[in-house]
Chains A and B, each alone.
Chain A
Amino acid sequence: MSKTTTRPAVRKPEAENGGAAPGAGRPTLEVIGLRKSFGTLEVLKNVSLAVEKSEMVFVLGRSGSGKSTMLRCCNRLEEPDAGEILLEGQPITGSGVNLDKVRRRIGMVFQGFNLYPHLDARRNITLALRKVLKQSRDEADTRAAAALTRVGLADKAGNYPSQLSGGQQQRVAIARAIALEPAVMLFDEPTSALDPELVGDVLGVMRELKEDGMTMLVVSHEMAFAREAADRVVFMADGHIVEQGPPEDLFTNPQHESTRAFLSRYSYGP
């Protein structure tokens, strides 16, 4: 994959905040005391987590542990019941926050890709550039081409989602998110819907993003990838973060009972 393409800077908080960034020194993404219930089911029970700039944090846990809900709260696709979320030191929860403005700074990649089926790959990417960032057609096309090059699909700009494999669709979805130059990227089980032989391409793109300094919060079951690529692994169980640390520590020497049980189910570890 070419690395010489015009690559937009990963983020530019100065332009957003005007001069000295008030978020300087703070983590890129901070979750503080997050709570969320669906009816009587309490899914998140006081979850706190910080993701530093350029850090890749993996969230593991069995289904129902609340990890996807936590991720979806981070761009308020789910509305938290209590707690605070800060993006570069700025609160994004509570009223008075311009959600659309916040969301363009938070990229999200979904399990089901969610590409727009009526638009080709290029226009999947340019839609938000045109309508949200108000770019001209030329500007948006240029940026879409750069984003598609980054995910290795420069030649698929004119293809519709139905003409792409699952792995290619997910890479276009990643390109759609990174084209907005987000401060942080959220991945919600990005490879769970893929055939095994297509998973590698998507993980390869994620690894390159990390090498380029992208801040990433990933919910996934790709244990081998987490162990190899993540800076930190967070283990969730029953609406809590029960344990976190460098992947090597967590995988080889899990402290918490539920972490051990989870890891042994995936027959991972020493």
Chain B
Amino acid sequence: MSNLDRFIETFLNGAVLAKYTPAILQGVWVTIELSILIVIAGTLLGTSLACIRAYRLRPVSFLIVIYADIFRALPPLVLILLAYFGLPNVGVTLSSSTVLFVILGLTLGAFAEEIVWAGITSTDKGQWEAARSTGLGFTQTLIFVVLPQAVRMVIPPLTNRAIAITKMTALGTVIGVPDILNQATTAQSFSGNASPLTLAAVAYVVLFLPFVILSRWLESRFAWKKG
């Protein structure tokens, strides 16, 4: 057997691929569902917290900063394991998918809060003054004037961060979430062949490459020409 044949046999084995593709496709759906939920929950959470922080109420802002810093500092895998294996001991039993969703949602929320907050603070002070001078209140100014500009400004970094966090759904494998990687590793151990992992890699690229390209496009789309 030539080296090339051995390579194909190991990584692109047709029979193995045919057998396990349906399982991996199931995993694709799990990954997609979880990713969508995490992105929605994380950005909503982060944006809301950034808005609350804009009121500059010291104790509240302090709590938000603590949360954001802890979740940005900790590796999500640590929290995933802690929640999945630790919480049942205090009577809280969550499904593996729920744990993954909550931890990654909170992690994205922490980063999104910092990113949107940066957008809010870098919005020109004149925008606040102009809006307030027309009689708009603080909350109205925040929602209708500042936030739309802030979000537009931070969409590229936010997209990048969302991609980075949703990729981490692969971490769910360690607690048994039936995502792409989990299906692939299971198939790999049953078949004794690495081809399912190749397929998983391809699936991730197919899934995430469009978003990487999208973020590139957004970056140019939302770049304002300053008037």
Chain A residues within CB distance 8 Å of chain B: 75, 77, 100-101, 103-104, 106-108, 110, 112-118, 127-128, 131-132, 161-164, 166, 169, 173, 176-177, 180
Contacts and interface: CB of A to CB of B under 8 A. Distances in A.
Cβ-closest 4 pairs across A and B: A104-B135, A114-B130, A128-B134, A114-B126
A101 B137 CA distance: 9
B226 interface: yes
Contact of B227 (A100, A103, A169): A169
Contacts of A77: 129, 132-133
A110 B126 contact: yes
Given A117-B224, A169-B227, A100 B129 contact: no
Main secondary structure of the interface of B (DSSP, over half): helix
B14 interface: no
B124 A114 contact: yes
Nearest to A163: B227
A111 to B, nearest CB: 9
A116 B130 contact: yes
Interface of B: 124, 126-127, 129-137, 140, 144-145, 148-149, 152, 224-227
Contacts of A180: 134-135
A7 B137 CA distance: 27
Nearest to B129: A77
B147 to A, nearest CB: 10
B124 A104 contact: no
Contacts of A169: 227
A114 B131 CA distance: 9
Query: Which of A100, A117, A164, A176 has the most C-beta atoms of chain B within 10 angstroms of its own C-beta?
Result: A117
B225 A103 contact: no
A46 B149 CA distance: 39
A128 B130 CA distance: 11
B129 A114 contact: yes
Given A75-B133, A106-B133, A127-B144, A117 B126 contact: no
B149 A118 contact: yes
